[in-house]
Structure 1
Amino acid sequence: MALKKLFIALTCMLCLCCGASSASAAGKLVAAVLTSDMERYRDAYRSFLKALAAKGYEEGAVEVVTQTPNPDPISWANSVRKFDAIKPDLLVTFGAPVTLAAKQETSGIPVVFVDVYGPVETGISRSMSQAGGSLCGVSSKVPVATLIKAMGDIRPIRTLGVLYNTREAGSILQLKEVKRVAAQQGFAVVEANVSSAAGLDTALTYLLGRADCLFVSESSVIGRGFDRIVRKATDARVAVISLTPGSSERGALVSLEISPTEQGQLAADYASKILSGRKPGELPVYTPRKVDLVLNMGVARTLDLHVPFKALSAATRVIK
């Protein structure tokens, strides 16, 4: 118990230094780990806290301690191990990489995962009807084929370049799905692995010299360089497409986006159930209900692309 109190105090100090939210309360203990300091995870985390408080788990009823480790396997595992040592009532994981670490490193702690692309395909969940074990959570998977079709309605894709990260399960899965669609539709795929920021420029030079469209996959490392990716792609007259929330606002031509706010709300629903005694492994995996196909007309004009009415009418949100 003394170790648990000491760790909570140290973690709360760390959260304050990093700007993370925490509550000082004497009730249930909830630990949260974000795969990285990405906007999508921060938004989902804030939404989670707000929705959890609305369900009665607010200050005085729950204490939340948070860590946002460096985006690498060792840091993800270390953060999870620290929380496993103090046995919180619930562990909430944001993103597939840290969720996989939680599945491997925890011993019986209930886990609610958030914003995980393909929980079954990445080996996190046994099925969509029951995650199994001590896990349950929220999928962020949306169909890659829908995104590629939307791009194809504007300009046919001959060669699609893919930026991905071998360290992140969701990124690898998105690459596989792009290749599957390419085999069905007959376009070529060229790929570049970016597992560290240092490799981004080399990867972009390689892809932009070969591709007429660029798919930016889900990745903490790649996401940090998104503005640079868009700038270089625009200079090369190459359109960017992505499944990353907020990517069209940052310069992608087309994006298919889940709502991080909804992800946090759905996770809070499961958290409240588990804190009230439900077993996580018996619960189905939530799937996204709010999905936007976003088209940035300003980018289309910059790239001198004509957007036909078919493509425009398919978009659920248009950025002028």
Structure 2
Amino acid sequence: MLDSDYTQRFLFDDTDVRGEWVGLERSYVEVLAKHPYPEPVAQLLGELLAAAALLVGTLKFDGLLVLQARSAGAVPLLMVECSSEREVRGIARYHEEQLTPGATLAELMPEGVLAMTIDPANGQRYQGIVALDGIDLADSLSNYFASSEQLPTRFWLNADGRRACGLLLQQLPANRIRDGEAREASWQHLRTLADTLTAEELLGLNTETLLHRLYHEEQVRLFDPRPIRFHCSCSRERSAKALISLGQHDAEQLLGEQGGSVTIDCQFCNQKYRFDAADVTQLFAGAGIEGPSGTRH
């Protein structure tokens, strides 16, 4: 039986277009379990999680993809990370008193910007930024690709607090169809069919059924699914490095202010890492993180 969380790539054999589908259930629920997000925030975060998983499927790299949306409104921050190993995590910040039922993206995130960062394990870090000026996140992401001289790419995203799903279509360099007008007509045809998708279909159908419903007259080749899971990359070692970055004087001052121990919280998963005076002394002596404190998480 196919797991509930996976991405699946497909190709149109008669044209230069590829696609990716994603369904997130368990991983999405695990992200939401870490924080009690209201419905509109949970929906936006789910859509961004789905988008990140779709994008990783189009990239050939070993590293981390980060999508970060910021605004001056009720939802000042959405942040999602997806590794090349398809491990996802996400977080949102919101002002509950400013949330209104049925609010649009523009109303929830006015003056919003979306940053996409590709951080490879080896190689140069890349970041692109675009305004959140679409009618929804899918439209804004599509606008990002339209304005960045990359391959034309369209997104369809939806989330309901239980499941987050998405579809991506991307036009490839000319190979099977070289005539410009014919390429554009084919691309427009496939996009128009995808535009008929309802939220219920996107959230409720598996890849094979959805593609048959949309493209039963096309030659579609479906590849094996790739599993996705929730995983938080925080660790005691990373927290120790953050403490060291403060400098010994400030770290010791923080110890005094917090009653003899410093606790570093992971904003993504709520894990807490505690360092006492002996730990801090050991860290700045260069002895590492294994040491005298009896508290380990």
TM-score tier by shorter-chain length is under 0.3
Larger Rg: 2
Q: TM-score, normalised by structure 1?
A: 0.24
Q: TM-score, normalised by structure 2?
A: 0.25
The structure with the largest helix share of the pair is 1
Higher relative contact order (CA 8 A, sep 6+): 2
